[in-house]
Structure formats: structure tokens, C-alpha cells
């Protein structure tokens, strides 16, 4: 199943978008092993840097491209579909297709790869006077 930006936009909430994108990676699982230099070559290329800026602008610097979830700090442009060593060696068009990219925060990026939403900080609950006292509710 190829995940697409157009499909992602159909989901209106952060949780729905996260569920659409999450993977079931394992902590410490090697992605490229000894071929790690390939993704560094990609991410340092001028073609990638231009595209990265375009994606961040398109997504308004928001986590999962969702207004109201502005990213404070590092913005990662995430490949919605896992890329392979061959994709990197060939500079595959899929690697540079905006339809397969989304802006995310570092915590969201890690949560997507590990399939673990608990890695994303949750918004504080709106509190009201007496709501922590069961006998006053």
C-alpha cells in the first residue's frame, strides 16, 4: 500500500493521520546498515534541500501537515513510504515525489517508525475547579 499526501489530507485529526502513517519498526533495527552513507548523500544534496523547503512551506511547518500543530524546533520531512537502498542508489523519483512526503516533528517521526503514539507528548487536559475531587462532581 502506497501512502500518499492526498490520502493523508482526508484524515482531519492528528490521531487519524498518525494511525495512517505509523509503521511497526523495532527499536534499534538497522535501516541501511553499512549503506548509511547513501541517505546522508541524499539529505545533503541540493535537490533534496530545495524539495525539503517546499514541503515545509506546503505544510505550513505543521506536524503531519495539520494546522494548529506548529513544529517548534527541528522539522523532519518524512518519507511516508519506506525507502530502500536501491531507491537511494538510483535517486528514484519516488524519493523526490512531494506526494510521498510530509513534515513531522522529531517525536512524531520516531513514533511513526516505532508504531508507538505514546512517544508523542499529549496536550494538557483543560482543568476546572473541583474536577479532581470525585465527591464534588
Q: Residue 122: which of 18, 44, 3 has the closest Cα?
A: 18
SS3 104: strand
pLDDT at 28: 45
Rounded to an integer, what distance in angstroms lies between the CA atom of residue 85 and that of residue 3?
A: 19
C-alpha cell at 48: 533534496
Domain layout of the chain by residue ranges: 5-119
C-alpha cell at 65: 501537515
Distances 70 to 29, 56, 74, 77, 106 between C-alpha atoms, Å: 29, 11, 11, 14, 13
Distance of CA 29 to the CA centre of its chain: 18
pTM of the predicted structure, to 2 decimals: 0.82
pLDDT at 124: 65
Ramachandran angles phi, psi of 12, nearest 5°: -90, -20
**Per-run averaged pLDDT (10 residues), the chain, 137 residues:** 95 95 66 73 92 98 95 95 87 93 96 89 71 65
Amino acid at each position: 500500500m502506497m501512502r500518499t499526501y492526498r490520502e493523508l489530507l482526508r484524515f482531519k485529526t492528528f490521531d487519524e493521520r498518525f494511525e495512517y502513517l505509523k509503521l511497526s519498526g523495532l527499536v534499534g533495527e538497522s535501516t541501511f546498515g553499512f549503506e548509511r552513507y547513501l541517505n546522508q548523500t541524499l539529505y545533503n544534496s541540493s535537490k533534496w534541500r530545495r524539495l525539503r523547503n517546499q514541503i515545509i512551506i506546503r505544510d505550513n511547518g505543521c506536524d503531519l501537515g495539520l494546522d494548529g500543530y506548529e513544529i517548534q524546533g527541528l522539522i523532519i520531512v518524512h518519507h511516508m513510504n519506506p525507502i530502500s537502498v536501491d531507491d537511494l542508489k538510483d535517486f528514484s523519483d519516488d524519493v523526490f515525489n512531494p506526494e510521498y512526503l510530509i513534515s513531522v516533528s522529531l517525536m512524531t517521526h520516531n513514533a511513526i517508525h516505532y508504531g508507538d503514539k505514546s512517544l508523542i507528548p499529549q496536550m494538557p487536559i483543560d482543568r476546572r475547579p473541583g474536577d479532581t475531587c470525585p465527591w464534588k462532581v
